[in-house]
Amino acid sequence: MGSVNALAKSDFPLLRRSVNGQRLCYLDSAATTPMPQAIGEKLQTFYAQSYSSVHRSVNSLGLETTNAYEHARSKVAKFINADPAEVIFTSGATASLNLVAESWGRENIHQGDEIVLAVSEHHSNFLPWQQLAQAVGAKLRLIKLNDQEELDLIQAKSLFNEKTKLLALAQVSNVLGSENPVAELISMAHQVGAICVIDGAQAIPHERIDVRQMDCDFYAFSGHKMLGPTGIGVLYGKKALLEQMPPAHFGGGMINYLDHGQATWEAVPEKFEAGTPNTVGAIGLGYAIDYLNKIGFKNIEQHNQELMNYLLPKLAANPGVKIYGQGQKLGVVSFNLAGIHPHDAATLFDQFGVEVRAGHHCALPLMQELGIPASIRASFYIYNDQADCDRLLEAIKQTQEFFNESC
């Protein structure tokens, strides 16, 4: 097998820096991806030349900003195969998921109703539903893991019934890295008349998303995990659903009419974007989409496959390594080292310049299901190469030697 090269490394100035005297080996992309230099530069130009208020001004700068913001919305819509009216800009996946819970959930989920979600959900797609269920007297029903530490479709089937109102599901787990059986679960949910909220935060950097083909009712993601800025995210919703939903937040830019006694709302998506939005974030997300389209998802998928094919057998061959989840990995690998606390391991990795994450990864119900307090998570993206895998493998070896000797 030939060596696995990065798809794009030189575009990312952050990756040229060193940490603790070592060249940075960045393996924390599932948390946040660095930004290509060209995107930062374009945003600088926007700040310097056009930055102004959006949707509220008839002056030239205001119009330029509004056009750039709406152009970004059109790019997002095309990127996920939606209509621009179905794309709501939010501050991130968390805000998108909470919006559905606060708006659709509050209107449609009542006492005795049931919400199905996976035990592996990130807290952002767990807590909004847990809190809603507690507030209205609904019940959460959890899809558990099978022997392969993947979602158990057989058990899942038994959870759906006429009381099920909503399925909340990550497309890709931020801990296991596996692609969940989204099509099968959406079909189960739709068969009983439930709507489907898909958390795409970990999927969208890795694969082409087509929300129509997926037939999800809502889809949420964040800009900062797909080479864009922080503080920007998207909620896609089917237009017919969005039109029926009440706004969750109130303020400027979202009313059609207002007097002392009443208010009527703007059409979607403005109805859901109260206050001055994150214009620069949305424009930056548009640039990130341009960048990803240029690289091409076929190349991104193939590169991930090659990296995982190189790394996983070597990791699995180490008897002191326990990998979580037996399925395919979309850039995310979680594991533990026998007898070594994940935080100790990650701290030592950092001394070697290898930046991973250790902890519960905002997925405590999954940690409880796996029977562990925490894990080490290494996550990869287009700028990683075989040398990064080797650095991780070497950091693991050195850490095992260090702790074995010091016992």
Distance CA 241, CA 181 (A): 24
Q: Tell me whether residue 6 or residue 170 sits nearer to ligand PMP (CB atom).
A: 170
Tally Cβ neighbours within 10 Å of residue 8: 18
Shortest Å, Cβ 389 to ligand PMP: 22
286 binds ligand PMP (CB under 6 A): no
334 binds ligand PMP (CB under 6 A): no
Residue with tokens 């507030």: 135
Shortest Å, Cβ 223 to ligand PMP: 8
Cα 320 from chain centroid?
A: 30
Name the packing angle between helices 279-295 and 297-317 (round to 10°): 80
The answer to whether the beta carbons of residues 300 and 8 sit under 8 Å apart is no
Q: Look at residue 94 and give its three-state secondary structure.
A: helix
Structure tokens that stand for 31 in this block: 């948390």
174 binds ligand PMP (CB under 6 A): yes
Q: Show contacts with ligand PMP in window 194-233 (CB under 6 A).
A: 199, 201-202, 222, 224
Q: Rule CB under 6 A: choose which of 138, 170, 204, 274 binds ligand PMP.
A: 170
400 binds ligand PMP (CB under 6 A): no
Nearest to 229 by CA among 13, 33, 395: 33
Distance CA 262, CA 283 (A): 34
98 binds ligand PMP (CB under 6 A): no
Asked whether the CA dihedral 91, 367, 360, 16 is positive or negative, the reply is: negative
179 binds ligand PMP (CB under 6 A): no
Q: Show contacts with ligand PMP in window 109-138 (CB under 6 A).
A: 122, 124-125
Stretch that binds ligand PMP, among 21-29, 74-82, 90-98, 134-142 (CB under 6 A): 90-98
93 binds ligand PMP (CB under 6 A): yes
Shortest Å, Cβ 76 to ligand PMP: 15
Which neighbouring-strand residues pair with 235?
88, 220
Q: Tell me whether residue 65 or residue 120 sits nearer to ligand PMP (CB atom).
A: 120
Distance CA 148, CA 251 (A): 48
Nearest to 82 by CA among 209, 224, 227: 209
92 binds ligand PMP (CB under 6 A): yes
Q: Which sequence positions are flagged as catalytic?
A: 362
94 binds ligand PMP (CB under 6 A): yes
Q: Note the residues at the interface with ligand PMP (CB under 6 A).
A: 92-94, 122, 124-125, 170, 174, 199, 201-202, 222, 224, 362
